[in-house]
């Protein structure tokens, strides 16, 4: 199921080679998903699920989710990131570093970006706004 995920087991070097070529960031985590006697799934996004042989519910949930939800194309995701997510994160970081009074998400630049997301894409992601 290369469009959804790859299943890995310890002795499947051909799948491992293809997978690590597509997701080089996973090389450091290889010991977590390439285990003796275990089955792991690596989703097309690079997210990996281990212990599929013992607890398949997480994998079943992810596969069902991907069957029912249409994820954005990579170029759409990159455009959203550069158009909305990164500028909003920059507003947040500048407000936190500059110790701006009031909530950063109520600044005019932040509100304009949130409004643009809602208007143009029917959603907005506002993150790191709670004092934890």
Tell whether the model's pLDDT for residue 103 goes beyond 90: no
- Say whether pTM exceeds 0.75: no
Tell whether the model's pLDDT for residue 132 goes beyond 70: no
Other beta carbons within 10 Å of 125: 12
Structure tokens at 6: 């790859």
User: Tens of pLDDT along 11-60?
Assistant: 777 777 888 888 888 888 888 878 888 888 888 788 888 888 888 898 88
Can you give the pLDDT at residue 18? Answer: 80
pLDDT band at 99 (very low <50, low <70, confident <90, very high): confident
C-alpha to C-alpha distance for 85 and 68, rounded to whole angstroms: 25
What's the mean pLDDT in 112-120? Answer: 94
Structure tokens at 92: 């947040």
C-alpha to C-alpha distance for 8 and 15, rounded to whole angstroms: 7
What's the mean pLDDT in 72-85? Answer: 86
Tell whether the model's pLDDT for residue 130 goes beyond 90: no
Tell whether the model's pLDDT for residue 92 goes beyond 50: yes
Tell whether the model's pLDDT for residue 118 goes beyond 80: yes
């Amino acid at each position: 199921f290369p469009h959804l995920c790859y299943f890995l087991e310890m002795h499947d070097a051909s799948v491992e080679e293809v997978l690590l070529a597509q997701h080089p960031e996973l090389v450091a985590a290889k010991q977590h998903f390439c285990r003796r006697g275990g089955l792991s799934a690596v989703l097309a996004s690079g997210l990996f699920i281990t212990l599929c042989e013992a607890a398949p519910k997480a994998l079943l949930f992810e596969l069902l989710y991907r069957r029912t939800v249409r994820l954005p194309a990579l170029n759409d995701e990159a455009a959203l990131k550069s158009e909305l997510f990164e500028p909003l994160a920059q507003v947040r970081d500048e407000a936190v570093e500059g110790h701006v009074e009031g909530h950063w998400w109520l600044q005019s630049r932040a509100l304009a970006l949130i409004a643009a997301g809602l208007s143009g894409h029917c959603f907005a992601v506002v993150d790191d706004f709670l004092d934890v």
